[in-house]
């Protein structure tokens, strides 16, 4: 008999606790982000595909040392460099990233001694065409760059 | 020659029935929107908001989708019963609405046994659901049909015991008279009639719980139980066949909440004795509907044994105690 009453009391109490929780949360602001209209700020260490940051003159800092291409375990970086007449360092003439094989391991960024490679914040990468993922990183800010 | 009054009465009743069906459908539409907006509040999200301002046209879109779908009947189905079941579920709900007094003047039919009429019609929808589940030729629907009968037998008893105690106190089955006895401020309501039985608030709670179970609402939605039985008795229904079940489910909630309002919460009377009328009835009705949704989204579904234990071990004894206490109190003080 005592257990029966105790069970009724505990049951009623737990039901009231449940209803109190839902009622309290009614007056809470929604926490969802309405994605296509609103976006969250990406975390500082977000890893998108790599990109070439520009120096003060608006040129890539890269000296075409090929360290990144050698460090890449999946060989997705293809690059060429040349040395213009009278220049003190080599310049990039071609830098292609095959994003279909890239695993975003970041070894290329780590291997770069000139801070010439960084992760981009671009995540809207869906496409119907496989060719879109072979990216020419030397192209001026276009489709691949975050908006 | 038919007398003029009879013709007018038939016209009046037809208009009322059309209006009540529209009321039931409107409630189904917008309670289903509330059913998505209110839990969104509880769960800190927005709910539907794309169709129309604040998602207010979402029920229209849902309704159009349901109406444009084909009514499929699969092999092995008992076609006659399969098509009869949704009608058998929706008709009693509208019949109940016809008897309920929404205000002093707004009620389709004021009959002296209104209370009895509501409770006899409201148990017919169980039969409809059972037939629908059984005729579907589907194992989930059959299990749902068995469950709905067991559950409704278990919960009809405490519901009616509570109502019997109430009828003993009010001496009438006429819903108009029951409401008129509660005229004035809120301490005249039947919930607070302690001179009749000190257990009146408890019996209101019993009535509300049994009403949830009768309307097959969560946490007692054993016959739909989407995580166990696909969609229970509605599994094989598509298009407006499902739509009718859906309207009937919400119509049953409206009937249940209306009965709770009429029997316990003073019907169309204002809690402070000012300006009685239809608006007070609707306010009470929708507050109770909110509570129904609130309960649904607060608690998980019960197990079937727990459900039956709750009825047979707790609600029925309590209802009996209430009945006996009411009888004794009426004998001594009445």
Tell me, yes or no, whether B157 lies in a domain: yes
Could B44 and A8 be called an inter-chain contact, meaning their C-beta atoms sit closer than 8 Å? no
**Mean pLDDT confidence for B95-117:** 84
**Mean pLDDT confidence for B62-67:** 88
Percent of the residues in chain B that have a pLDDT greater than 70, as a whole number? 99
B147: β partners: none
Q: Residue B123's pLDDT band (boundaries 50, 70, 90)? A: confident
Contact B201, B192 (CB under 8 A): yes
Task: State which residue of chain A sits closest to B43, comparing Cα positions.
Answer: A25
Its domain, for residue A114, covers 50-122+129-136
Tell me, yes or no, whether A90 lies in a domain: yes
SS3 B71: coil
What is the rounded distance in angstroms from the CA atom of residue B299 to the CA atom of residue A14? 10
* Shortest Cα–Cα distance, B46 to chain A (Å): 6
Residue found by looking up tokens 């310049």 in the block: A91
**Mean pLDDT confidence for A84-104:** 85
* Shortest Cα–Cα distance, A37 to chain B (Å): 12
- The token duo for A13 is 């109490």
* Shortest Cα–Cα distance, B104 to chain A (Å): 34
- DSSP strand pairing (A134-136 vs A118-119): unpaired
Tell me, yes or no, whether B30 lies in a domain: no
Tell me, yes or no, whether A27 lies in a domain: no
What is the rounded distance in angstroms from the CA atom of residue B196 to the CA atom of residue B319? 14
Tell me what pLDDT residue A145 has.
Answer: 43
Tell me, yes or no, whether B146 lies in a domain: yes
* Shortest Cα–Cα distance, B216 to chain A (Å): 19
Tell me, yes or no, whether A2 lies in a domain: no
- B75 Cβ partners below 8 Å, 6+ apart? B137
Residues of chain B neighbouring A37 (CB-CB closer than 8 A): none
Task: State which residue of chain A sits closest to B318, comparing Cα positions.
Answer: A8
**Mean pLDDT confidence for B218-241:** 78
Please name which of B112, B101, B111 lies closest in space to residue B263, comparing C-alpha atoms. B101
Tell me what pLDDT residue B300 has.
Answer: 84
* Shortest Cα–Cα distance, A15 to chain B (Å): 8
Q: Residue A140's pLDDT band (boundaries 50, 70, 90)? A: low
Tell me what pLDDT residue A116 has.
Answer: 86
Residues of chain B neighbouring A22 (CB-CB closer than 8 A): 42, 294, 297-298
ipTM at complex level: 0.72
Residues of chain B neighbouring A32 (CB-CB closer than 8 A): 44-46
**Mean pLDDT confidence for B185-199:** 78
Residues of chain A neighbouring B299 (CB-CB closer than 8 A): 15, 18
Could A19 and B297 be called an inter-chain contact, meaning their C-beta atoms sit closer than 8 Å? no
Inter-chain Cβ pairs, chain A and chain B, closer than 8 A: 33
- CA distances B208 to B14, B21, B36, Å, are 31, 24, 22
Tell me what pLDDT residue B166 has.
Answer: 87
Tell me, yes or no, whether A57 lies in a domain: yes
Q: Per-residue pLDDT for B247 more than 80?
A: yes
**Backbone phi, psi, residue A135, to 5°:** -100, 135
**Backbone phi, psi, residue B210, to 5°:** -65, -35
**Mean pLDDT confidence for B67-95:** 86
What is the rounded distance in angstroms from the CA atom of residue B132 to the CA atom of residue B232? 10
What is the rounded distance in angstroms from the CA atom of residue B69 to the CA atom of residue B62? 11
Q: Best mutation site among A19, A31, A35, A36 for testing chain B: the one with the most B CBs within 10 Å? A: A19
Tell me, yes or no, whether B258 lies in a domain: yes
SS3 B175: helix
* Shortest Cα–Cα distance, B85 to chain A (Å): 35
State the total domains in chain B: 1
What is the rounded distance in angstroms from the CA atom of residue B70 to the CA atom of residue B80? 17
State the total domains in chain A: 1
Angular region, B174: left φ>0, alpha ψ -120 to 50, beta rest? beta
Task: State which residue of chain B sits closest to A14, comparing Cα positions.
Answer: B299
- For B260-291, the pLDDT digits (tens) are 988 888 888 888 877 778 888 888 899 999 99
Q: For the stretch B47-74, what's the b/e string if a residue is b when 16 or more beta carbons lie within 10 angstroms of its beta carbon? A: bbeeeeeebeebbeebbeebeeeeeebe
A141 against B17, higher pLDDT:
B17
Residues of chain A neighbouring B46 (CB-CB closer than 8 A): 30, 32, 34
Q: Per-residue pLDDT for A142 more than 50?
A: no
- The token duo for A90 is 């080599």
Could A26 and B41 be called an inter-chain contact, meaning their C-beta atoms sit closer than 8 Å? yes
The CATH number of whichever domain residue A78 belongs to comes to 3.30.70.3270
Tell me, yes or no, whether B190 lies in a domain: yes
Its domain, for residue B178, covers 74-333
Could B299 and A30 be called an inter-chain contact, meaning their C-beta atoms sit closer than 8 Å? no
Tell me what pLDDT residue A17 has.
Answer: 92
Tell me, yes or no, whether A5 lies in a domain: no
- If you average pLDDT over every residue of chain B, what do you get? 85
**Mean pLDDT confidence for A58-68:** 84
The B-side interface with A (CB below 8 A) comprises 40-46, 294-295, 297-299, 313-314
Tell me, yes or no, whether A111 lies in a domain: yes
Tell me, yes or no, whether B6 lies in a domain: no
Could B298 and A32 be called an inter-chain contact, meaning their C-beta atoms sit closer than 8 Å? no
Could B314 and A28 be called an inter-chain contact, meaning their C-beta atoms sit closer than 8 Å? no
Tell me, yes or no, whether B44 lies in a domain: no
What is the rounded distance in angstroms from the CA atom of residue B269 to the CA atom of residue B167? 19
Q: Residue A146's pLDDT band (boundaries 50, 70, 90)? A: very low
Alpha-carbon Rg for chain B, nearest whole angstrom, is 20
Tell me, yes or no, whether B36 lies in a domain: no
Q: Which residue in the set A4, A8, A15 is minimally distant from B299, CB to CB?
A: A15
B91 against B227, higher pLDDT:
B91
Q: Residue B310's pLDDT band (boundaries 50, 70, 90)? A: confident
Contact A106, A76 (CB under 8 A): no
* Shortest Cα–Cα distance, B38 to chain A (Å): 8
- CA distances B172 to A101, B104, B112, B178, B240, Å, are 81, 17, 8, 7, 39
Contact A115, A98 (CB under 8 A): no
- For B11-28, the pLDDT digits (tens) are 888 888 898 889 888 888
Residues of chain B neighbouring A15 (CB-CB closer than 8 A): 298-299
Could B42 and A22 be called an inter-chain contact, meaning their C-beta atoms sit closer than 8 Å? yes
- For A127-139, the pLDDT digits (tens) are 888 888 888 888 7
Tell me, yes or no, whether A14 lies in a domain: no
**Mean pLDDT confidence for B192-211:** 84
């Amino acid at each position: 008999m005592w257990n029966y009453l105790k069970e009724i009391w505990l049951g009623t109490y737990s039901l009231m606790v449940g209803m109190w929780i839902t009622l309290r949360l009614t007056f809470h602001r929604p926490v969802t982000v309405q994605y296509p209209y609103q976006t969250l700020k990406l975390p500082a260490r977000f890893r998108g595909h790599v990109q070439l940051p520009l120096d003060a003159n608006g040129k890539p800092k890269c000296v075409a040392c090929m360290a990144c291409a050698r460090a890449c375990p999946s060989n997705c970086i293809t690059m060429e460099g040349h040395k213009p007449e009278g220049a003190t360092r080599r310049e990039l003439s071609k830098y292609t990233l095959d994003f279909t094989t890239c695993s975003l391991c970041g070894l290329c960024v780590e291997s770069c001694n000139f801070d010439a490679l960084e992760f981009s914040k671009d995540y809207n990468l869906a496409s119907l065409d496989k060719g879109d993922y072979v990216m020419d990183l030397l192209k001026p800010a276009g489709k691949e760059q975050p908006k | 020659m038919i007398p003029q009054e009879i013709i007018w009465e038939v016209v009046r009743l037809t208009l009322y029935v059309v209006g009540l069906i529209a009321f039931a459908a409107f409630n189904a539409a917008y309670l289903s929107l509330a059913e998505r907006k209110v839990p969104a509040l509880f769960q800190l999200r927005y709910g539907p908001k794309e169709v129309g301002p604040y998602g207010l046209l979402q029920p229209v879109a849902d309704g159009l989708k349901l109406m444009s779908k084909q009514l499929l009947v699969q092999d092995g189905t008992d076609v006659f019963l399969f098509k009869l079941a949704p009608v058998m579920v929706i008709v009693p709900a509208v019949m109940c609405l016809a008897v309920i007094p929404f205000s002093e003047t707004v009620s389709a039919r004021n009959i002296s046994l209104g209370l009895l009429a509501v409770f006899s019609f409201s148990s017919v929808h169980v039969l409809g659901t059972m037939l629908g589940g059984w005729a579907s030729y589907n194992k989930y629907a059959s299990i749902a049909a068995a469950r709905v009968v067991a559950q409704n037998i278990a919960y009809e008893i405490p519901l009616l015991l509570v109502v019997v105690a109430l009828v003993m106190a009010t001496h009438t089955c006429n819903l108009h008279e029951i409401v008129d006895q509660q005229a004035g401020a809120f301490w005249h309501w039947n919930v607070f009639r302690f001179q009749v039985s000190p257990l009146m608030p408890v019996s209101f709670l019993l009535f509300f719980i049994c009403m949830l179970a009768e309307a097959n609402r969560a946490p007692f939605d054993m016959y739909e139980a989407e995580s166990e039985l696909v969609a229970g008795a509605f599994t094989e229904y598509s298009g407006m066949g499902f739509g009718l079940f859906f309207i009937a489910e919400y119509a049953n909630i409206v009937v249940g909440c209306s009965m709770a309002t009429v029997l316990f919460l003073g019907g169309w009377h204002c809690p402070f004795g000012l300006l009685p009328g239809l608006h007070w009835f609707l306010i009470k009705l929708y507050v109770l509907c909110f509570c129904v949704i609130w309960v649904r989204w607060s608690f998980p579904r019960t197990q079937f044994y727990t459900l039956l234990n709750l009825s047979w071990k707790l609600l029925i004894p309590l209802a009996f105690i209430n009945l006996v206490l009411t009888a004794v109190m009426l004998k001594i003080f009445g």
